[in-house]
Amino acid sequence: MKRVVRLCEVRLENFKNTVHGTVTIPEAENHAPFEYASSILGIYGQNGSGKTAIVEALAVLKQLLSNESLKDFPIDDYVMYGKESCTIGARFSIEQENDQLYYHYYVDYDVRFVRTADKNGKIQSELLRAEKTEGGKTMRRTLVDYDVDRDTDCYLPKYRYEAIAKNKDGEIAIGVAQRIAQKEKGSFMFSGEFQKTVRSVENKGEDFLLGLILDALYGYASTYLFVITSAHSAMISLNGAVPMNIRVENEHKAIVGVIPLMLRGPEVVSVEYYELLTKFLSGLNGVLKEMIPGLTIGVHNFGAEMDRDGKKGVRIEVVSQRGDSVIPLRYESEGIIKIVSILHMLICVYADASMCLVIDELDSGIFEYLLGELLTVMKDNGKGQMLFTSHNLRPLEMLDKANLVFSTTNPENRYIHMQYVKQNNNLRDMYLRSILLGGQKEELYEETDTNQIARAFRRAGKAVLHGKNS
């Protein structure tokens, strides 16, 4: 079986500080079957203008589509102040070839959250739709329309509910799936119980289509979609255990997991962990030494030692090496540590069309020239997708206008592409000019006044020195 899933669009309504915002991923549509080039999107904008909202929304979608709980997510805080609910939506392209049959669908998934009295929030509804174009005609189908408070037929269309619930076991299974989803704050339609129930129905018509799409999106979210939030950079700053996502394929399946990159100093670990970490880090050195000339990383073995449970272990420390100089990795710059921690994911994006890596503050600690070189390599030769937010403007000189989105000061239209860009324009200069002079369809920067800022500093300084409130 051959299958590629790609993210095409992300939609927000009343999510955090965004009343409405849509981000469309370039190069996601209009391609020959299974012929993909890299798809890179950078999101730029003023602090607090909604860049990180896209990253957070995709982190939520990954959890739901992977059948994971949102118990640790601040659902109530996602709902915009003064609103009762918010919605996250996404469009995906699903292309699959199976037993000489070819399928290509565009799928829209929307999830709505509401505030609750306990301030924890809850999932109110989920909507799954499919779209296919044949012979110049576009056919759209609602596959599942689920609402937690619907008294009867908890999900529509009614005929599909009746097909699945036509026997007592199916009806019970749906009820179990609903109760578990509510208790765990997870998705109803991507729950294991619901997916199993759908697969139990005779594989034909739309029931087959529903099963195909649920399986495709679940597989995509759990093994191909990776979201790295700003918490990742915070762990680096704290010299903590930085999580490194890994994805390794064998003949049968992809193995996904997390290896903690320990920065606290020498630690005792299991023999199995030591062997895995050593193998994993050595596999990165071929690319790392080209990105940062002469730099390689490895694991220093201090010798066998019992762990706190009395089991056989190894005392180790992750180190970096340049020539004959070897130092603990924790003494390297934040930028180098960040590159090491995400490098495996970047390699996967470069090689695999289904891979999608989402990174908040990609530029954090990374030298801007290297950042530009990295994006150029990914853009020109990669196959997967990468979305990132950044404050560094170097990528504006390296990427096309279609690969750049700018957040605005208008919460009703939060994300736009730059207009009136000519082929010979420097987009970096044009962006800065638009901040100062305007000229785009939306304002890109909420105006600040240096004199007012200076005056505020003087007032605050006097208050600090003399113990007076400003």
pLDDT in tens, the chain (470 residues): 788 999 999 999 999 999 999 999 987 666 667 778 889 999 998 888 889 999 999 999 999 999 999 999 999 999 999 999 999 999 999 998 877 788 889 999 999 999 998 888 999 999 999 998 776 677 888 888 998 887 555 666 666 666 666 666 767 777 888 888 889 899 999 998 888 888 776 555 555 788 889 999 999 999 999 999 887 777 776 767 788 888 877 666 677 878 888 888 898 988 888 888 888 888 899 999 999 998 999 999 999 888 888 889 999 999 999 988 999 998 988 888 889 888 999 999 998 999 999 999 988 878 888 888 899 999 888 999 999 998 888 888 888 888 899 998 889 999 988 877 777 777 777 777 777 667 777 777 677 777 888 888 888 888 777 766 55
CA separation for the pair 324, 304 (Å, rounded): 25
Backbone angles phi, psi at 296, to 5 degrees: -130, 160
Query: Could you tell me if 90 and 109 are in contact, meaning their C-beta atoms sit under 8 angstroms apart?
Result: yes
The pTM of the full predicted model, rounded to 2 decimals, is: 0.88
CA separation for the pair 97, 279 (Å, rounded): 34
Residues 6+ apart with CB under 8 A from 275: none
CA separation for the pair 275, 338 (Å, rounded): 22
Q: Alpha carbon of 11 to those of 202, 336, 413, 440: distances in Å?
A: 34, 33, 11, 21
Query: Hey, which bits of 205-266 come out as E strands?
Result: 225-228, 241-249, 254-262
DSSP secondary structure letters along 137-175: EEEEEEEEEEETT-SSSSEE-HHHHHHHTTSHHHHHHHH
Q: What is the predicted pLDDT for the residue at 135?
A: 65
The tokens for 468 are 């007076």
What is the crossing angle of helices 334-351 and 230-237, to 10°?
Answer: 140
Per-domain residue ranges for the chain?
2-36+62-225, 226-351
Q: What is the predicted pLDDT for the residue at 129?
A: 94
CA 81 to chain centre: 24
Residues 6+ apart with CB under 8 A from 439: 420, 433
CA separation for the pair 323, 343 (Å, rounded): 21
Residue 427 half-sphere exposure, CB side, CA atoms within 13 Å?
21
Other CB atoms within 10 Å distance of the CB of residue 31: 15
Other CB atoms within 10 Å distance of the CB of residue 243: 16
Query: Could you tell me if 134 and 141 are in contact, meaning their C-beta atoms sit under 8 angstroms apart?
Result: no
Apex 47 CA angle, 58 and 238, nearest 5: 75
Torsion, Cα 174 176 178 183, to 10 degrees, reads -170
Q: What is the predicted pLDDT for the residue at 162?
A: 67
Q: What is the predicted pLDDT for the residue at 36?
A: 81
Q: What is the predicted pLDDT for the residue at 8?
A: 94
Q: What is the predicted pLDDT for the residue at 257?
A: 79
Apex 195 CA angle, 228 and 60, nearest 5: 20
What is the crossing angle of helices 334-351 and 368-381, to 10°?
Answer: 10
Class of residue 63 by CB neighbours under 10 A (exposed 0-12, middle 13-18, buried 19+): buried
Query: Could you tell me if 299 and 277 are in contact, meaning their C-beta atoms sit under 8 angstroms apart?
Result: yes
CA separation for the pair 116, 70 (Å, rounded): 15
Q: Alpha carbon of 15 to those of 181, 227, 408: distances in Å?
A: 22, 18, 15
Q: What is the predicted pLDDT for the residue at 187?
A: 94
CA separation for the pair 246, 462 (Å, rounded): 52
Query: Could you tell me if 195 and 218 are in contact, meaning their C-beta atoms sit under 8 angstroms apart?
Result: yes
The tokens for 377 are 């390599």
**Nearest Cα to Cα of residue 231 among 359, 66, 406, 45:** 359
Other CB atoms within 10 Å distance of the CB of residue 373: 14
